[in-house]
């Protein structure tokens, strides 16, 4: 497992990535508002940096809210209460909120300690980090590309015989797919869509995958020859992997933005690596088991994959945010 040691050096990149993601979820936009969030299915909670007047806080006419894409539909507010610490305000709505959408809440003339703090408009939404994690876990587990979407099978069965080949293929694939997906997203958003060239999607995306393979090949050769010796041979196989073209096609179809595309690609790669690793563990043992002659090799591997696919069905309802 010499390859894994080389990878340990890149932990800092992962750390920075996570930090960046966390920051995207923390913006509030105004110094006096410490935070906002959804509560139950029909409430919004606002936490202030300082105490606010009770009479102001319980007056419903000081607030108005709408769902971001529908600024003309004002949501009905039935009640507003202030917590005992005088900094937590709970606004209750007449109907359950559609929490998948961002909500814009306007509070006019906030009165705190005798002073008029002015009017503030805040955006209340589920942490974007949550959305990103959903895409990531979706691609890796709930809609695992191998076991739920049956893509990348040729390569899957070819490289899952031993654990180190499996890990090698999985890691290389993840790197290539992340590069290719980001380039595909950029090209799609800035070139293909605006100029109505979407019928060139297939060709362009497969071209990008080839380019990424070539790119990773060259970079790896120069930067880390040891890593290249361990993993280089799997690069060519990435082109024949259906997942490599499925990911760009998916992010174009679903109109994902940059971060979501990155999550999709990462999830696809991680899911593939996971599938390969699990399969390899089983196949190594199958080699020593007493399999009927007609079934040795691929047939029994397929049956095993079927069992894994059944198991992965268990992830279907998983939702974290």
Considering the complex, what minimum distance in angstroms separates the CB of residue 168 from other proteins?
19
203 binds other proteins (CB under 8 A): yes
Between the alpha carbon of residue 115 and those of residues 26, 34, 50, 53, 111, the distances in Å are 27, 18, 11, 10, 6
| Span of 45-53, 85-93, 205-213, 262-270 interacting with other proteins by CB under 8 A | 205-213
- Are 279 and 304 in contact, with CB atoms under 8 Å apart? yes
126 binds other proteins (CB under 8 A): no
Q: Which residue has the tokens 């969030």?
A: 37
Let me know the angle formed at the C-alpha of 27 by 67 and 96, rounded to the nearest 5 degrees. 30
Residue 92: exposed, middle, or buried by beta-carbon count in 10 A (0-12, 13-18, 19+)?
middle
- Pick from 15, 29, 50, 100 the residue near other proteins by CB under 8 A: 100
Task: Find the binding residues for other proteins in span 179-198 (CB under 8 A).
Answer: 196
If the CB atoms of residues 186 and 303 are measured against other proteins, the closer one turns out to be 303
If the CB atoms of residues 186 and 236 are measured against other proteins, the closer one turns out to be 236
| Span of 8-16, 45-53, 225-233, 305-313 interacting with other proteins by CB under 8 A | 305-313
301 binds other proteins (CB under 8 A): yes
- Pick from 19, 222, 317, 320 the residue near other proteins by CB under 8 A: 317
Considering the complex, what minimum distance in angstroms separates the CB of residue 81 from other proteins?
24
Task: Find the binding residues for other proteins in span 132-171 (CB under 8 A).
Answer: 143, 147-154, 157
**Euclidean distance between CA atoms 174 and 212, whole angstroms:** 11
| Span of 1-9, 47-55, 260-268, 308-316 interacting with other proteins by CB under 8 A | 308-316
Sign of CA dihedral 147, 150, 156, 157: positive
If the CB atoms of residues 14 and 203 are measured against other proteins, the closer one turns out to be 203
Q: What phi, psi does 43 have (nearest 5°)? A: -130, 150
- Are 20 and 128 in contact, with CB atoms under 8 Å apart? no
- Pick from 127, 239, 281, 282 the residue near other proteins by CB under 8 A: 239
What is the rounded radius of gyration, in angstroms, for the C-alpha atoms of the chain? 25
Q: How many residues bind other proteins (CB under 8 A)?
A: 55
Let me know the angle formed at the C-alpha of 226 by 224 and 227, rounded to the nearest 5 degrees. 70
- Pick from 14, 114, 294, 320 the residue near other proteins by CB under 8 A: 294
Sign of CA dihedral 150, 156, 162, 166: negative
118 binds other proteins (CB under 8 A): no
**Euclidean distance between CA atoms 171 and 151, whole angstroms:** 17
State the residues that interact with other proteins by CB under 8 A.
69-73, 95, 98, 100, 143, 147-154, 157, 196, 199-203, 206-207, 210, 239-242, 244-246, 249-250, 253-254, 292-295, 298-303, 305-307, 309-310, 313, 317
């Amino acid at each position: 497992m010499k390859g894994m040691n080389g990878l340990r050096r890149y932990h800092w990149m992962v750390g920075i990535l996570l930090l960046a993601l966390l920051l995207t979820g923390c913006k509030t936009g105004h110094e006096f508002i410490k935070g906002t969030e959804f509560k139950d299915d029909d409430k919004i909670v606002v936490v202030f940096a300082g105490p606010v007047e009770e009479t102001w806080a319980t007056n419903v006419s000081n607030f108005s809210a709408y769902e971001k894409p529908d600024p003309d539909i004002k949501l009905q507010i039935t009640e507003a209460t202030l917590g005992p610490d005088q900094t937590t305000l709970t606004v209750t709505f007449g109907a359950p909120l559609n929490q998948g959408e961002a909500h814009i809440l306007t509070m006019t003339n906030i009165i705190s300690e005798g002073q008029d703090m002015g009017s503030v408009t805040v955006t209340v939404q589920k942490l974007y980090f949550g959305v990103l994690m959903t895409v990531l876990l979706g691609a890796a587990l709930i809609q695992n590309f191998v076991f739920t979407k049956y893509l990348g099978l040729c390569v899957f069965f070819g490289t899952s015989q031993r654990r180190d080949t499996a890990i090698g293929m999985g890691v290389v694939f993840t790197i290539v797919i992340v590069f290719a997906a980001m380039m595909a997203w950029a090209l799609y958003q800035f070139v293909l869509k605006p100029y109505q060239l979407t019928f060139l999607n297939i060709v362009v995306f497969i071209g990008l995958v080839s380019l990424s393979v070539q790119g990773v090949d060259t970079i790896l050769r120069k930067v880390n020859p040891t890593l290249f010796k361990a993993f280089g041979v799997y690069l060519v196989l990435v082109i024949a992997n259906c997942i490599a073209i499925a990911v760009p096609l998916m992010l174009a179809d679903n109109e994902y933005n940059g971060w979501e595309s990155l999550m999709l690609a990462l999830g696809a790669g991680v899911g593939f690596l996971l599938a390969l690793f699990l399969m390899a563990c089983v196949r190594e043992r199958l080699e020593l088991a007493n399999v009927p002659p007609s079934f040795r090799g691929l047939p029994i591997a397929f049956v095993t994959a079927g069992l894994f696919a059944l198991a992965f069905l268990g992830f279907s309802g998983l939702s974290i945010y």
